[in-house]
Chains A and B, each alone.
Chain A
Amino acid sequence: MSTEEVEGVTPEVMLAFYRRLYPFKSIVNWINHEHTPTKLFTHREFALTLERDVYLRYQCFETVEEFKKKVCSLNPTRFEIGPVYSVKPKDKKSARQQAFTPLQRELVFDIDMTDYDTVRTCCKEAGICKRCWAFIAAAVRVLDSSIRDQFGYKHLLWVYSGRRGIHLWISDKEAMELTDEQRKAIVGWIAVIQGGKDMHKKVNVRQGTKPLPPSLQMALEPLVPCFGDLILADQDCFKSDDGWEDLLHLIPDKNIAEILRRKWNKDDGRSSEDKWDDLKSEIKKTDKGSPTRVSLQAAMEDIILQYTYPRIDAEVSKHRNHLLKAPFCVHPKTGRVCVPVDPQLIDDFDPEKVPTVGQLLKELDKVVTTQDMEGAEHHSDWEKTSLKPHVDMLDRHAMALMDQVRRSKRAADLSW
């Protein structure tokens, strides 16, 4: 467990960060899809959180320079990106209420470690370590491939949320234009873990004991080994009494549950792996192909899903006008920068190795003293720090988006 509160994220530190390090240009390229500002940028809502929790909504900008200037002058602790409105957000008050509607917005997903508190054993609440990051890693792998395969979206940007979670921004044209109803549908398609704390079985996705829907069958494959490594070996979820009692609640056959309960009560030393093997061998005793066996096998799949399938914060994704913290903001508690993450390398990602704002400024101090660049504007000082690979990643991502837009524009031209 480690949540070392990093050295104070003071207003002075933040100001230096915005002035010299924050990649405004890259952010604008990414949300604008083109080099010259379009409505995707100029009609976009930014919401700034200032000192003492003052919340400034409906901000918008014409150019990158104005954007940077405003952020530097207000020096927010963080800011969020909202939808593209039909009218410039700052003109909200003068526009007719009906004329002010959100039109476009990246499809976003939010996965937060707190939703895993009932299954992780290493940390609690705000805490996060490399070990519990494995839950997030599993979620990222499943969501990333499901969305690409089933919905056909290509422009997915994963961003570390600065403390204990991860955000996904999808910028494909169709995804940008989804209505709230369609966003709700996609959430319904993806969300599997349901039911509050008074509901033991949180996975109810099949009719009776019929096979899983194809999308979840596909998700299950990588989760089976993950269940073994993470839930059984690493987290040892069924070690404690409460842990294995939870497992027994999920077994539909009362007799088998009772046999296992007696066995585990007697022998305190059985690991989660032993217990899972016990369950498997009890299932093997039932007749092959019998309804009991089929329902137990289905239950095992459901258990694997319940412990490892992505737990998304559904409300974030359902509405176009939801605000989400911008990439490269600094988490005020940890000082860590919300950097983009490569889903291919998600297993190697260590939240504790993400650069903090203090560390970056120190790196910068060294560079500037050696180069002695006084008075010059530091537009891309991030190049000289460990922020560089992360900004490069965003730039590559934005470039691919801009390519796509250019290609489809050219195609539209040819049709004439």
Chain B
Amino acid sequence: MFSNRERAAFSDGTVKREGQVYKHSTLKYPHRLNFYDRPPLEDVTIEEFETCAIDRLRILAEIESSFVRNRSFEELKTVTNAQCLKYLPLHSSTATSEDLEGERRKDHLGHFILRLAFCRSEELRRRFVKAEITLFRVRYESDDTKEREEFLSSRDFDWIAVDKDEKEKFRRELLAASPNLKAELFEKEKFYKVKWTRVPDLVEKRRVFLKGGWAYVPSREQSSIIFQAFQSSLERALEATARALPRLDEDTRIMPILNNLSQGFLAGVPSEWSGNDGSSANGEAIKAEMIDDLARKHFPLCMKNLHDNLRRDRHMKHYGRLQYGLFLKVLGLSIEEAIAFWRKSFSKITEDKFNKEYRYNVRHSYGLEGKRANYAAKSCQQILMNDQPGPGDSHGCPYRHFSEDNLQSALLAAYSHQGLTSSDLPEIMHAVKSQHYHVACTRVFEITHAGSGVGTVKKGEGVGGGESVTHPNQYAARSRELEKAKIESLGGNDDVPMKGEEGGGDAMVLG
């Protein structure tokens, strides 16, 4: 099923060098790490095909959602390792009790199947590469040092070790390029020369010394070369696969699986709710089980983020509950439904604990306890300025409180299904960089409600009359209004398929 062309794409640029260590092993997978140069050439049952893919997809989805959730790399590593252990364990070569060949074969198969599913659009390829390279990085960092050395010497990264004379010649420059390298450790530090184009990340941050097109990479930054090599070979391979894919179109067994896989990934974070889907989103009163669907279609990024966090952690810290709870109250969630919603969401804790610690809290925000104040939902201004989120908090305004990378991932994961693409990002990021967070949010609203006819929004219209977003509830209310108008213009037919229903189905692949 994999074309020769794809294999050819790998073979260029890997001219064997002298001194490279060849491992003549009878093992098919001598290393835990895999650069996936060669496609698997064997028969696979359709069941195995699907399992391998879905199990790997669970891990990649977890990685994506880590970006979305603004997790640090350390947190991401912990979460990913846990997920890997569950669905796709990969033990080191010293672990004799495990089925190493089986584990590695599954890793190998899963990777190549997902390549097929994700090679089809630039957007999918970009996201797949980002998730895969992160997975590779997590595994690389947790690999046994000795085994990693063996893996590295098993392939040619085409770097040139900088000899003593050259190192001495550029001593001053090399030290200045690595401010954290102590002068007394200089003699011990090894440097490798590669063409600068192979380490653009290090060049961009001026973390190497450059001379005549060569980057002098200290051994502590060596992993950059490896990750970049992994990334560029995967990018090339995906493009080759995309070109070869049309020949697969006729296979009626595989295409539906592949379609499902990529859609599941696109749908973003899998929903853990198996509640009744399909309830009408048009009624005024909101029920707890409608919130998943509403979040998908109508919430601004701050609330989507809180919702996804809640679904994932099945818990939420105080300021997050406050920001999200009041928003839901104003959205139209009654106190009974609110209790039901929070109770069900906090599924890790006992009934007793919930009643003692959280029920009061929810009732309080509805003005039924304590000083019985009628609290208003927080405005953008308040969210931006008050109660800055600390580590572990998920409240705040993503446009302001997320790092650039995470914000971009979050936007794509949250709104791709509503038409936002990576080509929209520069404009949004521009607004963010100039600290016009409400402009960015308004632009996202316009993009996700673009189209023609009733119930759509043109650029510049904002949330009505050219107004920009100043309140999360204003965002959600306007979005629902537009949807209602759209449905009514179609004859008020309740049978109009809702995006949420399709999405729900897709997410099941993951869930």
Contacts and interface: CB of A to CB of B under 8 A. Distances in A.
Contacts of A186: 203
B205 A214 contact: no
A188 B179 contact: no
B206 A184 contact: no
Interface in A161-201: 174, 178, 181-182, 184-189, 196
A212 B179 CA distance: 9
Contacts of A185: 200-201, 203-204
Contacts of B179: 206-207, 210-211
A205 B176 CA distance: 12
A387 B283 CA distance: 75
Contacts of A98: 122, 242
B209 interface: yes
B238 to A, nearest CB: 12
B13 to A, nearest CB: 13
Contacts of B254: none
Interface string B185-202: 000000000011100110
B335 to A, nearest CB: 45
Contact of B176 (A153, A181, A189, A214): A214
B206 A181 contact: no
B200 to A, nearest CB: 3
A269 interface: no
A149 B212 contact: yes
Contacts of A152: 211-214
B253 interface: no
B343 to A, nearest CB: 47
A24 B100 CA distance: 65
Interface string A135-157: 00000000000000111110000
B255 to A, nearest CB: 19
Nearest to A185: B200
Contact of B210 (A181, A189, A196): A189
Instruction: Identify whether the interface residues of A are mostly helix, strand, loop, or mixed.
Output: helix
Contact of B196 (A149, A151, A196, A216): A151
A38 interface: no
Chain B CB within 10 Å, residue with most, of A98, A174, A181, A214: A214
Contacts of B200: 181-182, 184-185
B210 A150 contact: yes
B205 A188 contact: yes
B17 interface: no
A217 interface: yes
B197 A178 contact: yes
Nearest to A207: B179
A186 B213 CA distance: 11
B481 to A, nearest CB: 34
A352 B29 CA distance: 70
B173 interface: yes
Contact of B177 (A151, A187, A214): A214
Contact of A182 (B177, B197, B206, B209): B197
B452 interface: no
A350 B177 CA distance: 37
Given A178-B197, A210-B179, A214-B173, A189 B203 contact: yes
B176 A217 contact: yes
B145 interface: no
B228 to A, nearest CB: 10
A414 B213 CA distance: 25
B493 interface: no
Interface in A73-130: 98
B208 to A, nearest CB: 9
Given A150-B211, A189-B203, A189-B206, A213 B176 contact: yes
A239 B126 CA distance: 52
A209 B131 CA distance: 37
A184 B213 CA distance: 16
Given A178-B197, A181-B200, A213-B177, A149 B205 contact: no
Contact of A184 (B172, B204, B209): B204
A209 to B, nearest CB: 10
What interface size band does chain A fall in?
A: 20 to 34
A215 interface: yes
Contacts of B173: 214
Contacts of A210: 176, 179
Interface string B238-259: 0000100000000000000000
B97 interface: no
Given A178-B197, A188-B205, A189-B203, A211 B122 contact: no
B434 interface: yes
Interface in B206-222: 206, 209-214
Interface string A214-244: 1111000000000000000000000000000
A215 B212 CA distance: 12
A214 B170 CA distance: 10
Contacts of B172: 214
Nearest to B215: A150
Contacts of A212: 176
A180 to B, nearest CB: 10
A153 B197 CA distance: 13
A405 to B, nearest CB: 18
A144 to B, nearest CB: 15
Given A98-B122, A178-B197, A189-B204, A151 B210 contact: yes
A215 B170 CA distance: 12
Nearest to A205: B206
Nearest to B173: A214
Contacts of B213: 150-153, 174
Contact of A149 (B122, B204, B211): B211
Nearest to B205: A188
A244 to B, nearest CB: 28
Chain A CB within 10 Å, residue with most, of B122, B196, B206: B206
Interface string B423-457: 00000000000100000000000000000000000
Contacts of A174: 195, 197, 213
B195 to A, nearest CB: 8
A268 to B, nearest CB: 37
A213 B214 CA distance: 16
Contacts of B122: 98
Contacts of A214: 172-173, 176-177, 209
Interface string B367-401: 00000000000000000000000000000000000
A151 B201 CA distance: 15
B243 to A, nearest CB: 9
B203 A196 contact: no
Contacts of A150: 210-213
Interface in A42-57: none
B203 A188 contact: yes
Interface string B43-85: 0000000000000000000000000000000000000000000
Nearest to A319: B426
A188 B176 contact: no
Nearest to A191: B204
Nearest to B197: A182
Contacts of B210: 150-151, 189, 215
A313 to B, nearest CB: 15
A404 to B, nearest CB: 15
Given A151-B213, A196-B434, A210-B179, A188 B204 contact: yes
- Nearest 3 CB-CB pairs, A to B? A152-B213, A188-B204, A185-B200
28 contacts: A149-B211, A150-B210, A152-B211, A152-B212, A152-B213, A152-B214, A153-B213, A174-B197, A174-B213, A178-B197, A181-B200, A182-B197, A184-B200, A185-B200, A185-B201, A187-B204, A188-B203, A189-B204, A189-B210, A205-B206, A207-B179, A207-B180, A210-B176, A211-B176, A214-B176, A214-B209, A215-B206, A217-B176
Interface of A: 98, 149-153, 174, 178, 181-182, 184-189, 196, 205-207, 210-217
